[in-house]
Amino acid sequence: MSSMKNGFGLNTNLFETNILNLRVVIGVVRTVVGDAVRSLLDQRRKTILVTLQEVDQKARNAQQRLDEARAAVETARARAQEIRAQAIQTVEQESVIIQKKLKEDLQRRQEIRQQVLQLEQQQRRQTIAQKVANLAIMAAEDTLLIKLGPMGPMHAKQKELNEVHVRETFRKLKRLFFYIIFL
């Protein structure tokens, strides 16, 4: 071991020198590597902070889109309820209109049916009146012809003219009667 009491000298003690060298090396490593590690850690911390900020911003954006989607769903739900209510109201109105039209159609059909029945009754009355008139005219014609009956040879010509006149008059009466009936 050499003495170093008064200055600079060489230390030959290996154990002491290794500890000293180790301390120097650790100091240098600590200074050089520590700054690099600190710098790396600072960069890593900044990267993590930026990433966290980006994640927070994305989460806020996602929450905003979620809120907008919820509002859109609520609006759509309200609109669907409104449409449903309008559809029910429209169906009820259409039902009332259809019922009213059906009632009017039924009433119109009943009126037509009543008119048809009245027309049929009128036709039956006219047919009966025509038959009665024909029978009355034929009976009157026969009665008149019988009353004009045989009068002898001189009056044969007069009888013939009377028959022609009676038949012509009754034919005109029939036409007039049918005209009156069918008016």
Please report the pLDDT score of residue 67 as a whole number.
95
Separate counts of helices (H) and strands (E) for the chain: 2, 0
Domain ranges of the chain: 14-181
Which is nearest to 165 in space by CA: 182, 137, 145? 145
Main-chain phi, psi angles of 4, to 5 degrees: -130, 35
Q: State the Cα–Cα distance between residues 169 and 53, nearest whole angstrom.
A: 125
The SS3 of residue 181 is helix
Which tokens go with 101?
Answer: 């039209």
Please report the pLDDT score of residue 3 as a whole number.
46
Query: Is pTM beyond 0.85 here?
Result: no
CB 12 within 8 A of CB 1: yes
Please report the pLDDT score of residue 182 as a whole number.
61
Which tokens go with 57?
Answer: 């911003």
Q: State the Cα–Cα distance between residues 40 and 166, nearest whole angstrom.
A: 146
DSSP 8-state secondary structure symbol assigned to residue 150: -
Q: Cα 40 to chain center, whole Å?
A: 69
Over the chain (183 residues), what is each successive 10-residue block's mean pLDDT? 53 67 78 78 91 93 95 95 94 94 94 93 83 76 66 63 75 72 61
Please report the pLDDT score of residue 99 as a whole number.
95
The SS3 of residue 152 is coil
DSSP sequence for 50-103:
HHHHHHHHHHHHHHHHHHHHHHHHHHHHHHHHHHHHHHHHHHHHHHHHHHHHHH
